[in-house]
Structure 1
């Protein structure tokens, strides 16, 4: 049962709130949870009557787990059967390991990833909402309400709802972002990802395979299932009938012998798929007076590095932290908090986006520099751990231009076998054995 109040679209509700959150995906529910925990009255408006069934947003990083543990969400997910994943391995097409990220070395009480279905993650967030949060589904947000140059609410189903803060969590094509005058120029990758859910006798493993045909990524889900992503060209699967899909799946498997353990399940499930576009962006600004962008309304990254949903959770946590430090919901205090949120998040999102993009290039393209970077990172203990720390959401660990040269083997690294100080401390304390 949700701790917040879940209302149908024809239910009467107040027209004045401390905050209005537009969108009930992970970003929106995280924002509502974080703001509600500050004691604010929060209204969540969602146009869809039910959550989407999408094959994304299924892997939570250690940094997000620290936040979700505080909110009570992580415990709910583990009670619902979420799986702990302790390492990610980048492999050659035949399965030979090329780079291994061992999350047990991270300086956190949760040195693992957590995997579950997207609807289950949404449900756990919804069940953790504080009592002051109301969720209204089937509600169409028609636009913003302004007082002068400040956003002071939204128009929903013909009614003006006012609030000290409006949170735009309405996704990639955010209507509120456009109406607020904010932009998010998007760069599309030259490929897409076809997502498959495999069932049957499939071994649990979290691996990314580098093949001549691009990325193949697999990880386990509860119930003995496996999520498999296959990199495809935009029209590669369009119009294929049963025979064409069978031939296509055979080509994928021939090009990636490492997938042999899931070959039978892949052939059986190849007709049931989602094809996902892949893009990246970071809005030049995440706020205007009275309004903040969170989640995909403000930023996108390649899903290979599992950063999108986790960055959305960090957005919500940071936004609430800045508002808590302000101490009130007066307009000037809120807008000062929004400026600080914008500075903090764009700083981190810039580095996260760059790290995700570089990781994607190493595995989705067969360029000389990408191949050398993957090999160099895999062989360099120090750099590999710094990259893992950034990807985990525990804090940005910058690589210098010299580190980049070490990665591609242009310069030898005398510190390659030396773990960062934080990793040595954790290993020495025994946490790495988890």
Structure 2
């Protein structure tokens, strides 16, 4: 039986992985009416994407879950390479750097994917949202005003009318298929097994590897924090069935592991898969959008897939909310404009790292941290004449230490946290600043009337601001503009383009 169409949904999100959950959280905290569906009967149970990169940690801080995530994760362990003669060497293959005021997270965090998604579901519940499992999108049509979607669930079919449909439904995306969007790329000639297993015979203090440089013998066993599990990773032949049972994986490990007897006690999750690198031809078709693995799939090397997907959602969330609240529809086009080139770059990086991994080279540095990615090329990066060595529009906005006028310590990230834009003005005449309005927080730093102080000269040293200058920062933590105090009309025009129109004179007078 087909239920009558529900009409109070502004955004329907298909797929409740990390990207779908992130988008749902970001929209829910902005007051957008969402529904989040997933065809799986229950949450994903595997560890697959276990590396959370530093830039993603900043995003998760803004979403309010960084401490919960750290509590269920841990730093990457030292890698122990076992040799055929019984000896081993230890090395730190993941770059470990101390935090700085500008970059509070500089080392990746290991969190099994099932734990990351559980933390995100908990946050979504706090915001009044939930995941509807066992509900599969079976079709949709769109018109100028919205999308009509058909969803099959345990209680029958349902028609949902929504303003926007977002497909975060994985590499075999149904949404992408219906839209007939090309997904070019290549199969990389590598097939692998990944499994979460309870194992005896190995120390949990190390990420154990052996057979490096030999694609027929390589195997890795990584302890998953706060569990009794190891993640097994190993290349496998391109053809043939792989026995993923306890007995099958026991035999697989016995064949490859040369450093003593190990015992497999339990298999919680396992998968055999072929590695691909693919990128969707486009991310938008009318009122339907793609994100995450539906838009790009990566080999696992470098830990870029989950992170790129989650940041897709973080980029899209504020734009969708702004358009739903009256911003020009063209704002949505900047989602593909910004995120597709990032995905293309990450595909190239991950594929290059895969080639190195085939030879046993698995060292990872800053290039995987995603802190240096930005949108200087974006139409949302307002032109500014600044020396090349200074922060530019489109760059990630660094953190820093300030002080409140009342004496309390303030981090810049504290000021940016939340679904708003932020304007930081250094000793600027208040009369030259934009009028107060919903969605824009204005802070005056220094000067007689400043609500903030800058004892470490963060705005000068890190942001390159002179007195009388300002910086506008987007809701997703990237610099939008360095507006001149003398060019208020240009700034107001930009704010209107992103849905922050100036209030009327009557409203300002009131």
TM-score after normalising by structure 1: 0.72
Whether the aligned pair in 1 keeps the contact of 2:25 and 2:127 (CA below 8 Å) is no
Q: Which runs of 5+ in 1 are unaligned?
A: 1-8, 255-259, 379-386, 398-434
Identify the residue that residue 111 of structure 2 maps to in structure 1.
116
Q: Distance in 2 between matches of 1:131 and 1:26?
A: 16
* Alpha-carbon displacement from aligned partner over 1:157-188 (angstroms, at most 9, x marks no partner): 44332222211011111111121231213522
Identify the residue that residue 281 of structure 1 maps to in structure 2.
278
Counterpart among 346, 349, 374 of residue 355 in structure 1: 349
| SS of match in other structure, 1:48 | coil
| SS of match in other structure, 2:257 | helix
| SS of match in other structure, 1:103 | coil
Counterpart among 336, 340, 346 of residue 346 in structure 1: 340
Identify the residue that residue 181 of structure 2 maps to in structure 1.
182
RMSD (CA atoms): 3.7
Counterpart among 1, 4, 25 of residue 17 in structure 2: 25
Q: Distance in 2 between matches of 1:36 and 1:242?
A: 42
Q: Distance in 2 between matches of 1:135 and 1:91?
A: 43
* Alpha-carbon displacement from aligned partner over 1:46-93 (angstroms, at most 9, x marks no partner): 2223113234122211111111122122322333x3222277799988
* Number of corresponding residues: 362
1:145 is aligned to 2:127: no
Identify the residue that residue 75 of structure 1 maps to in structure 2.
67
Counterpart among 203, 210, 213 of residue 211 in structure 1: 213
* Alpha-carbon displacement from aligned partner over 1:180-206 (angstroms, at most 9, x marks no partner): 231213522222222242434423334
Whether the aligned pair in 1 keeps the contact of 2:198 and 2:264 (CA below 8 Å) is no
Structure 1 or 2, whichever has the larger Rg, is 2
Identify the residue that residue 223 of structure 1 maps to in structure 2.
227
Query: When you count helix as a share of all residues, which structure comes out higher?
Result: 1
Residues 147-166 of structure 1: pairs in structure 2 closer than 5 A: 147=143, 152-157=147-152, 158-166=157-165
Identify the residue that residue 102 of structure 1 maps to in structure 2.
95
* Alpha-carbon displacement from aligned partner over 1:285-338 (angstroms, at most 9, x marks no partner): 1112212111111111111221111111111111124345x46445x834x222
TM superposition shift of 1:12:
9.7
Q: Which has the higher contact order (CA 8 A, sep 6+)?
A: 1
| SS of match in other structure, 1:162 | strand
Q: Which runs of 5+ in 2 are unaligned?
A: 375-510
Counterpart among 304, 307, 314 of residue 310 in structure 1: 307
Q: Distance in 1 between matches of 2:82 and 2:257?
A: 15
Q: Distance in 2 between matches of 1:390 and 1:202?
A: 30
